[in-house]
Amino acid sequence: MRRLAVLSMHTSPLAQPGTGDGGGMNVYVRELSSALARKGVTCDVYTRRWSLELPDVVMIEPGFAVHHVDAGPPCPVAKETLQDHVAEFTESVIEKMTDPRQAGVDGEAGAQAIHANYWLSGLAGHAIKHRLGLPLVSTFHTLDRVKAEASPEEVESAEPGRRARAESEIIGCSDALLASCSVEVDQLVELYGADPTRVEVVPLGVDHAFFSPGDRAHARRALGLGGAGPLLLFVGRIQPLKGADVAVRAFSILSRSIPSAKLLVVGGPSGPRGEAEVATLHKTVEELGLVESVHFVPPQPHELLSTFYRAADCCLVPSRSESFGLVALEAAACGTPVVAAAVGGLTTLVKHGRTGYLVEDGDADAYARFAAEICTEPFLQAGLGAGGVQMASDYSWSITAARLRRLYDHLTSRTLVEC
């Protein structure tokens, strides 16, 4: 396997995670493509052009390029309407993939496989597979039927079931489906009837060069944080699905017994209800009298998040749904205990009582209770932190890339799945 076409239609790996549609998927595409390139797999990432100022190609590093392709107006477009531009995206990608000048830009042959990320890219990948006769690997990152159960207001399509039907078609066509954990395997099989023999568990990774333990006092000074009180942290896009409201309510309860505590909320609005959610959070903070102790921080460059993790006593991850939970993994890698929702991939990352705690049903009292124990019992905090570092040591992008390269090699020698 020498060359891979990576589809990421709705968001670019160059975009800032934590705002707009940028999140864990951006990190996944960027870090995985980089790790694959270092293992000898040239990665061409195709994403939608959202500005006329964007160059056609951005070379990130040897073997890793981001291609901006035309699909709809060259400006930001709501993700909920992007399906209207999938056909144009597909044609633009095929034109680039079959251009002999493009295929030979680094002396390599054309792509030998397609890796689609998210259902919109999956629709394009479905078509490209049959047009070019290439195996299709799909990573969904989130699934409509899972999301609908956890947070109905976040379902993107005005036409009920449209996205889920599209996901079913992509699942039926894919030569391999990537799941980040066993929970996602069950969701693909039980909710979509996926063939379990085509589902591969390939967890996400963490860059230990950035996300590793460090001195908490130094990290707080670097962030300009004064005072000696406990610090709680929430990192993520501000939308109902991520549960920042639960973090604020839990902090309000904790602050009654630990008035010196502070909460940092790092992230920006995302999705159709993002701006409203931010406004609601600010209003809640004011009504609870927490303006002096809850601080909102704009989205940060990904590698700088490590300083925030190291500065915190505890990281709250109260998502209503989470296919993997990259924030929980990165916090653990930095030695910061995690209190997280008992949903999805978080149940495989957070070892209850060993690396942090799991909470059922958005119970703010439980989040507050566990966070208070962590903040007030130094030996407990140190033990959970050490357990998290040990757990995270099993995850790296290099390991993820090595497993995927073997999978790609296997697929290129097999007959394509018919659909």
Q: Class assignment of domain 216-392?
A: alpha beta
Count CA within 13 A, CB hemisphere, residue 291. 5
Report how far residue 172's alpha carbon sits from residue 194's, in angstroms, rounded to the nearest whole number.
Answer: 7
AA identity, residue 96:
K
Amino acid 36: pLDDT: 97
Amino acid 288: pLDDT: 96
Amino acid 24: pLDDT: 85
Q: Single out the residue of 110, 136, 142 nearest to residue 123, CA to CA.
A: 136
CA 95, 99, 105 angle in degrees (round to 5)? 130
Q: Single out the residue of 334, 363, 411, 302 nearest to residue 18, CA to CA.
A: 302
Strand order in the sheet with 3-7: 57-61, 64-69, 42-48, 3-7, 113-117, 136-139, 176-179, 199-201
- The alpha-helical segments, DSSP class H, found in 288-396 are 305-311, 326-333, 346-349, 364-376, 378-392
The H-or-E segment that residue 192 falls in is helix 182-192
Amino acid 270: pLDDT: 84
CB neighbours (10 Å) of residue 196?
A: 10
Asked: is 3-205+396-411 a CATH 3.30.428.10 domain? The reply is no
Domain 3-205+396-411 and domain 216-392, same fold? Reply is yes
List C-alpha distances in Å: 160 to 142, 156, 193, 301: 17, 9, 19, 36
Amino acid 105: pLDDT: 47
List C-alpha distances in Å: 208 to 51, 150, 401: 33, 32, 15
Q: Delimit the domains of the chain by residue range.
A: 3-205+396-411, 216-392
Q: Kindly give the parts of the chain with pLDDT less than 70.
A: 18-22, 102-109, 150-160
Amino acid 57: pLDDT: 96
